[in-house]
Each structure stands twice: as structure tokens, then as C-alpha cells.
């Protein structure tokens, strides 16, 4: 199977969907002539022309709204935010417009579009450029939210998102664009809302998604050397969320650690813990433990940034805590 980077997997998804459906277009800052701030859209301008690969001014609110309007009348926009930090300028369009249109029109206007871009911290980008916003958007009924953690899922989920008739939020990661993985030549779609059990074990469940899945897998490999076998769930979709997979795993292991990049308060992990206590109360042998970013804006200094982020040690400590291990 070909080995492809996360960035190229996204590029393949865009290209294939734009070839397949001429209603699909890509819009955002630097997506066309510059070939994408992270080169996700490399070559697309040359193949599809400037009407379908559209460079915008720096005007997130404006072009997000253009996407909503185009989607209202039948196009299928893919709106790229250079980062989700900048998308805060456009949040009115995502939350008040895209997520609400179908409902407040009584079912007359659905919004088939994708908002995508890198999310979470990279390295030493400090406070304004190192934020994980998935809990913000997953909070909103009317949106679907996905967060692929490898090239295979990135391609399959972006294709699913483009074909979805609802607004779909896709959280990528700057640190993942160079990540390599197997991506088959043949067409495939990953259904939104289905998790992926990446490792099977019976001692403890780690639930996570997006970039953090790679951390969780490292933890599982490290702990396996000590005979500790972890179930590792890559949710892939945050909304809708695969509660059945979570419940089945926790019923087996009786304990769970929830790992996420974002902050603790009202985080996605808090919602997952709620599902676990609701569905698995009598199966729990320990309170669920969460691993997340420190509850501070991201600092610049290398050592402080390291302290703020979830890492292997914090995750292993959490697993040991729920297993009552010293």
C-alpha cells in the first residue's frame, strides 16, 4: 500500500472530490497561488482553475459567510482556515449561520460545507496560535465535528465530510501534516461518527482523537512492555461520537483515561466522562481520569510549553492511577 503524508492524503481527498463533483470548491487564504499555507492544496489551482480554488483576502468572517451563502444555494464549499485560531473571527458564520440554517428554516436550507484547518498546538507558537477548539464547536447542535489522527483517516474523513449534506468541522494538526501512513489507491470513505479501536487490551481504556491518538499509541506500546494491555480508542469523530465503542471498551476494562489536547474545563473529555458514567456506572472500578493541556494560555518558552502539554508521563500516570498501580 502506498505510503502518503497526512497533507497529501488531504490533497488527494480534495482532488478526488473536486473531480467527482463540480459543486465542490476550495476557498481560503493562500490556498491557490501559494499552493496552501501547509501545501494541502498543492496543484489544485492548476487543475481546477481560480473559480474553484479561490484565494481570499484575510477576511475569515467574510469568506466563511461566502461559503455559507454558496452552500445555501447548492454548492459544496470547503473553507480552509489557515488555523482554527483565526477562525474565531468567523465564529458567527459557523455557529449562528451554518449550524442553525436548517433548523430555523424549518428544514428548507441545509448547509453542505466543510470548515477545515489545523488545530491545537504546534511548537513554540505561544498563546494565540496554540489552541484546541474542538469542544467549542462540538458544543453546537447542527454541526458535525471530525478530527483524524493519521493520513488514512484524514483522507477518508475529508471525503465523507465533503459528501455530507451538513456543515462539517474538520480539525487537522500542523504537527501531523508530515506524518506518513498507508493510504490505499482505491476509493474509500470513513463514515462520520465511527471510532477506531487502534489497540486491544483488557486492563484500561484510553479514549482520544486527533493528534493525541499518536501519543496514546506510544503509551500503549510502552506500557505493554510491563504487561499492561490497553484498549486505545481513536474516536475520529467528536460529533456524532461513538459512544457504543466507548461503552463496550469500558465494560471490558472497567477503567478509562480520556486524553485530549485542549483545556480541561468543559473539554470534550468532560463529555466523554459523562457518557462513561451514564453508560458504565456499574462497570467502573475507578473514577475516570482526564489528561489535557494545563489550564493556562500556551506559554512560549520551550520548557513551559512542554509542561503545559499532555505527554507520555502524564498519560502513563493517569493509566496507573485508574489501575491503582503504584
* Interaction between residue 71 and another protein (CB under 8 A): yes
Q: Taking CB under 8 A as the rule, which mask of x and - marks residues 209-238 in contact with another protein? A: --------------x-xxxx----------
Nearer to another protein, 77 or 117 (CB): 77
Q: Which of 17, 29, 60, 80 is catalytic?
A: 60
Question: Which of 29, 47, 80, 129 is the catalytic position?
Answer: 129
Catalytic-residue membership of 129: yes
Binding status of residue 303 toward another protein by CB under 8 A: no
Contact indicator for 39, 7 with CB cutoff of 8 Å: yes
CA distances to 24, 185, 223, 277 from 205, in Å: 39, 32, 12, 14
Which value, to the nearest 10 degrees, does the dihedral of the CA atoms of residues 11, 151, 132, 297 take?
Answer: -100
Q: What is the largest CA-CA distance in the chain?
A: 61
Tell me the three cell numbers of residue 139.
458544543
- Interface mask toward another protein for 146-165; x: CB under 8 A: -----------------xxx
Answer yes or no: 139 catalytic: no
Distance in Å, CB of 241 to another protein, minimum: 14
Q: How many CA atoms lie within 13 A of 13 on its CB side?
A: 29
Rounded to the nearest 10 degrees, what angle do helices 312-322 and 212-224 cross at? 60
How far apart CA 85 and CA 37 sit, in angstroms, is 14
- Choosing from 15, 116, 144, 292, the residue that interacts with another protein (CB under 8 A) is 144
With contact defined as beta carbons under 8 Å apart, do 300 and 284 qualify? no
Q: Name the residues that contact another protein, by CB under 8 A.
A: 25, 51-52, 56-57, 59, 61-75, 77, 92-93, 96-97, 101-110, 141-142, 144, 163-166, 203, 223, 225-228, 254, 281-286, 312-314, 316-317, 320-321, 323-326
The catalytic residues are 60, 129
Amino acid at each position: 500500500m502506498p505510503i502518503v503524508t497526512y497533507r497529501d492524503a488531504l490533497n488527494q481527498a480534495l482532488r478526488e472530490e473536486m473531480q467527482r463533483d463540480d459543486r465542490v470548491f476550495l476557498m481560503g487564504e493562500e490556498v491557490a497561488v501559494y499552493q496552501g499555507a501547509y501545501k494541502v492544496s498543492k496543484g489544485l489551482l492548476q487543475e481546477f482553475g481560480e473559480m474553484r480554488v479561490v484565494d481570499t483576502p484575510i477576511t475569515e468572517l467574510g469568506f466563511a459567510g461566502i461559503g455559507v451563502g454558496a452552500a445555501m444555494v447548492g454548492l459544496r464549499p470547503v473553507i480552509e482556515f489557515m488555523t482554527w485560531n483565526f477562525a474565531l473571527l468567523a465564529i458567527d458564520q459557523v455557529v449562528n449561520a451554518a449550524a442553525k440554517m436548517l433548523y430555523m428554516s424549518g428544514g428548507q436550507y441545509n448547509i453542505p460545507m466543510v470548515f477545515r484547518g489545523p488545530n491545537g498546538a504546534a511548537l513554540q507558537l505561544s498563546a494565540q496560535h496554540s489552541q484546541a477548539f474542538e469542544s467549542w464547536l462540538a458544543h453546537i447542535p447542527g454541526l458535525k465535528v471530525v478530527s483524524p489522527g493519521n493520513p488514512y483517516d484524514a483522507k477518508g474523513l475529508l471525503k465523507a465530510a465533503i459528501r455530507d449534506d451538513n456543515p462539517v468541522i474538520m480539525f487537522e494538526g500542523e504537527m501531523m501534516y508530515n506524518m506518513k501512513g498507508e493510504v490505499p489507491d482505491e476509493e474509500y470513505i470513513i463514515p462520520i461518527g465511527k471510532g477506531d479501536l487502534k489497540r486491544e487490551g483488557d486492563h484500561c481504556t484510553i479514549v482520544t482523537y486527533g493528534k493525541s491518538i499518536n501519543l496514546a499509541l506510544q503509551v500503549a506500546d510502552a506500557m505493554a512492555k510491563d504487561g499492561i494491555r490497553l484498549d486505545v480508542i481513536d474516536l475520529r469523530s467528536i460529533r456524532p461520537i461513538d459512544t457504543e465503542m466507548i461503552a463496550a471498551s469500558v465494560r471490558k476494562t472497567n477503567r478509562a483515561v480520556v486524553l485530549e489536547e485542549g483545556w480541561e474545563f468543559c473539554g470534550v473529555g468532560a463529555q466523554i466522562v459523562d457518557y462513561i458514567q451514564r453508560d458504565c456506572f456499574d462497570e467502573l472500578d475507578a473514577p475516570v481520569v482526564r489528561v489535557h493541556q494545563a489550564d493556562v494560555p500556551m506559554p512560549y518558552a520551550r520548557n513551559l510549553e512542554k509542561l503545559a502539554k499532555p505527554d507520555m508521563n502524564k498519560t502513563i500516570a493517569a493509566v496507573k492511577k485508574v489501575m491503582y498501580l503504584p
